[in-house]
Structure 1
């Protein structure tokens, strides 16, 4: 990444970066200037869009920075107990941001072939870092995504397979969690869970060995029911296998 530009607020230095034409400020600099005793803790608590990136300090040394956009600066201002926090906000709005937007894109250009090579290497490293993060987070959303994006009903066996269980094991577990009870050969929801749209049933005609017909009822879980099971199982410490792989 590029070398941060430094702005001075009274006796404090605040480093800034321009990322994809968006002004960012170094989080710790902002928090320190606003009087937070633990800048790192303050940014973790109050900043919603902080990101980590690589840059170079005024001596050319490569460093990792946590940077925040304009919206997070205002969040830190609001939570600050510093008497001149409002003055700092005005300084950011009226001096810093306009200056970054006006000159940042030019001052970030490499001034030599060596700097250009260094910038290219930094950008490639950042790209690989971001691709890795995407790959790490992708499995985490896959299971819920499949529930929310599907409209098809599923069998108990299909849901059980998500947890590495058999249908019999899942049925017994749901019975223990007061979700359903067995009446004859059929699992039925307890009254408090009926009429919630969790299941969908239909009858099928089959033939016995002697050729006589028999009517059986097949019950499947809707995606709403599948989501209900997921939330219930999660609260009891049971996670689908794909989530367990994410935690490993």
Structure 2
């Protein structure tokens, strides 16, 4: 049986996790409940095999779990308005803490540890210091003006793109991600995100779209050509940035 750690949030409830071979895994039912995804089994089945697994968590036996990449795809699949808030909580607090200390301590748990000098006092002190530094940095950032816009976290940039619903083609997306267009398209083809039809036009697979792509009808007034073009959404750009930066090949 794997040892679990519980994250608590007043809005999203309890999220159970476990660490296996250095990777963080989330209990899929907890994530889906927080994101109002009704069918957990169906949602997990749609993920790539390297984004999901099953672990023994005790009385519930073998249970569906998702890693960080699977988590991001579930967030993108959610229609819940609070999904953006959930993503920021995971990426700005939970994951940084667990990567730095190998565990997540809630405020109540932190006080418990501090009251017992013999129990993880060094770890708790470091965690408290890290949180104070993060709070101080947050206050400092709130006082910055337009110059700080360029330095906003990627998560803020992503949220802005989503709100503006900016779409981009494969060439511009590849350029933004710092890869060659052919390499980017080959990556999407090899991972079954897209396919070529009989005419060579690229289209997304419906079962793996998750809002990553949009298909737009195109018309060329000069040639009277009509057709369709697959464009990548802000969610798609952020997803592929995370996958490429994470070394998923």
Which TM class, normalised by the smaller chain length? 0.3 to 0.5
TM-score of the two chains, using structure 1 as the length reference: 0.40
Compare CA radii of gyration and give the structure with the larger one. Answer: 1
